[in-house]
Amino acid sequence: MGCRARAPKPELVRVVVAGAQCVPDLRGRLQGRGAYVHGDPACIELAERRRAFPRALRVPGPLDATPVRALVAQQQSGQQQRGQQQPGQQETAQQEHDRHQAAGSQNVPAAPAAGSPVREQVEKR
Ligand SMILES: [Zn+2]
């Protein structure tokens, strides 16, 4: 469905009708006619545009595929988070760095003001 490309079954999401929506059937246990789509947001969108959901699920009305799209988007963002642990650590180091700078900047304006007149006096002598 959708792009019509073949995919191994683990990459496919089973979709069933629930009222005016089509919802993902993660465990493959919901009753009724099911359709399979790729776990790919672009593919879900394509299927929606082509009205492939009502056709594949043999219902007359338009179907809202928002739950399916939300699931797929969630799955994809989860995969990205698992693969990007290093940027997260860098972000923490950056925050720490910012904190040190903020703490340092409070002392910096006071130090030259107190120090420079003394130094000038020393140079004049
Ligand atoms: Zn596809």
Q: Would you kindly state where each structural domain of the chain is located, as residue ranges?
A: 9-80
Class of domain 9-80: alpha beta
- The CA distance from 106 to 87, in Å, is 29
- Picking from 23-27, 39-43, 68-72, 95-99, which range would have the lowest pLDDT averaged per residue? 95-99
pLDDT-derived band at 61, boundaries 50, 70, 90? confident
Q: What is the pTM of this model?
A: 0.59
36: helix, coil or strand? strand
Binned at pLDDT 50, 70 and 90, residue 14 comes out as very high
Q: How far is the CA of 41 from the centre of ligand 1 (A)?
A: 9
Average pLDDT for 74-87:
71
Average confidence (pLDDT) over 67-79: 89
Which residue in this structure is represented by tokens 């760095």? Answer: 97
43 CA to centre of ligand 1 in angstroms: 5
Please tell me the distance between residue 102's alpha carbon and the centre of ligand 1 in angstroms. Answer: 50
Q: What is the DSSP letter of 9?
A: G
For residue 13, pLDDT over 60 is answered with yes
- Residues in a beta bridge with 15: 24, 35
CA 23 – ligand 1 centroid, Å: 17
The yes-or-no verdict on residue 10 having pLDDT over 70 is yes
